[in-house]
């Protein structure tokens, strides 16, 4: 049997703490943390499930994006989950559209009227 790399695994308590914090911040979503052994190393995946169906595509990963387990831990003693919490501090931050904002309706009407009167 091949030995996996020696990156520290998060404890069950740590994963549960991340999930509780995610539920507090994003009540409509579930943070899914997954581990897998792949090509002799541990990898982790983070993604969110749930939320509002009208967001298509969702602005967050809906399936795991696999990373080496060593990438979970940061040099400053932080972790990738804490960075996710910083980037999206609450549920409203998750729901910000990723497409460019549409112009205000009045600007569209003015443009149409200008085209019609030309």
Q: Kindly report the pTM of this predicted structure.
A: 0.70
Q: Which phi and psi angles does 61 have, rounded to 5°?
A: -70, 125
The domain locations on the chain are 12-117
Pairing of strands 41-50, 67-68: antiparallel
Per residue in 19-71, pLDDT (tens digit) is 999 999 999 888 999 999 988 889 999 888 877 654 555 556 677 888 999 88
Count of other CB atoms within 10 angstroms of residue 44: 23
Per residue in 86-109, pLDDT (tens digit) is 888 988 887 765 455 555 555 555
Q: CA 102: distance to chain centroid? A: 24
CA–CA distance from 19 to each of 14, 46, 56, 63, 118 (Å)? 9, 11, 24, 16, 59
Q: How far apart are CA 73 and CA 7, in angstroms?
A: 9
Residue 18 and residue 81 in contact, taking contact as beta carbons nearer than 8 Å: yes
């Amino acid at each position: 049997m091949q030995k996996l790399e020696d990156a520290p695994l998060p404890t069950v308590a740590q994963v549960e703490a991340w999930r509780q914090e995610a539920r507090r911040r994003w009540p409509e979503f579930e943070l899914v943390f997954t581990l897998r052994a792949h090509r002799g190393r541990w990898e982790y995946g983070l993604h969110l499930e749930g939320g509002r169906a009208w967001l298509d595509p969702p602005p967050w990963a809906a399936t795991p994006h696999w990373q080496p387990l060593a990438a979970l831990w940061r040099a400053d003693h932080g972790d990738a989950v804490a960075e996710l919490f910083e980037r999206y501090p609450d549920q409203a931050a998750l729901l910000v559209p990723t497409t460019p904002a549409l112009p205000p309706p009045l600007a569209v009407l003015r443009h149409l009227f200008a085209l019609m009167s030309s």
